A = this chain, B = another copy of it.
Amino acid sequence: MSGLRAELRLRRDGFALDVALDVPDGEVLAVLGPNGSGKSTLLDCLAGLLRPADASIYIAGRSVAGLPPPERRVGVLRQDPLLFPHLSVLDNVAFGPRSRGSDRATAREVARRWLTEIGVAEFADRRPSRLSGGQAQRVALARALATDPTLLLLDEPLAALDVDAAPAMRAALRTVLRQRRAGRVAVVVTHDPLDAISLADHVLVLAAGRVVEQGPTREVLASPRTGFTARIAGLNLVVGEATADGLRVDGHALTGVLAEDAVPGDPAVAVFPPRAVSVFLSDDEPHGSPRNTAPATIAALEPHGAVVRLRTRDDRPGWTSGIAADLTPAAVADLALDVGSQVLLSVKAATVDVHPALRRSPAP
């Protein structure tokens, strides 16, 4: 057996963590959850920084629950960058490789590569105290990645980053996580559904120390069963194969905007929010800019805050199966929509983001 398998139970004052998780070999798990739900605590347990008495943790088939951190071959980015104040940025990043036995020159070489990758090579010789918040966060990320661990644990790796840096880091992380050879697993804590979608195969949602949802990213985010997940996610995800101008699903096209690292022909996921989906009556096809218009049957209609969320049946080839669309109540009334109505769904290509999928079959 390989991958990561863990069962953990821990009490801390009033807080109790009770989690079981299972990440197959080579895959990435995203952990979502409200503040204080136990995400960092979970990561600390996996890293060996907390050692609950009642725990079983297997990394690549090896039981590590009794082992101290360095023997677990984990790499950790904690929520606080905690860069070593007495070392330069370069030596901070070189610390991991050095500790794993590289000689000084090699370790520095590795560190320099990672600093470049993460876009902070210019700070190599600085003391950490002279970095801005986002710069420190990036150096800490480089430090965690440079250890090349069996189990990579990242706690909000993209927090504090600016709008240019965040996508760049996300792409860099995706590269790292995809290149990971067999026997490697990563767990990423995040508050951003886009991280989960673009980085993770699986999602685990924590609330008050317990797992409230768990499963393949697409399934959990597309049909969230809790309010929290719905609020952070509730995105439409369509799996297919990247094309030059979007995605091919069951032979049908979905036009969209390709992410920089998406390669036509490779597996990909199209993401668009329910609020971006327009609904037309079947006999009234629009002739406008929306590139994507296709038929669907309404499966459900339910109030969702100020809007009504409509879901389509999972009964057709192409992208319109099992899609959510948010409409104002006025629109629902105006179009006289109901369960079973035949409609045309329309979604502007500009609202459809196409991300490379992490692997060919993201579902178990």
What is A's interface to B at a CB cutoff of 8 Å? Answer: 12-13, 33-36, 39-41, 79-80, 130-135, 138, 155-156, 159-166, 191, 228, 231-232, 245, 255, 257-258, 274-281, 284, 286-291, 305-307, 325-328, 330-332, 334-335, 344, 346, 348-351
Contacts and interface: CB of A to CB of B under 8 A. Distances in A.
Contact of A279 (B280, B288, B346): B288
A134 B191 CA distance: 11
Contacts of A156: 133, 160
A355 to B, nearest CB: 13
A274 B156 CA distance: 29
A229 B96 CA distance: 37
B160 A289 contact: no
B281 A284 contact: no
Contacts of A349: 327-328, 330-331
A213 B13 CA distance: 49
A348 B291 contact: no
B132 A36 contact: yes
A91 to B, nearest CB: 18
A326 B350 contact: yes
Contacts of A290: 278, 331
A162 B134 contact: no
A79 B137 CA distance: 12
A348 B278 contact: yes
A351 B232 CA distance: 16
B275 A351 contact: yes
Given A164-B231, A245-B328, A35 B138 contact: yes
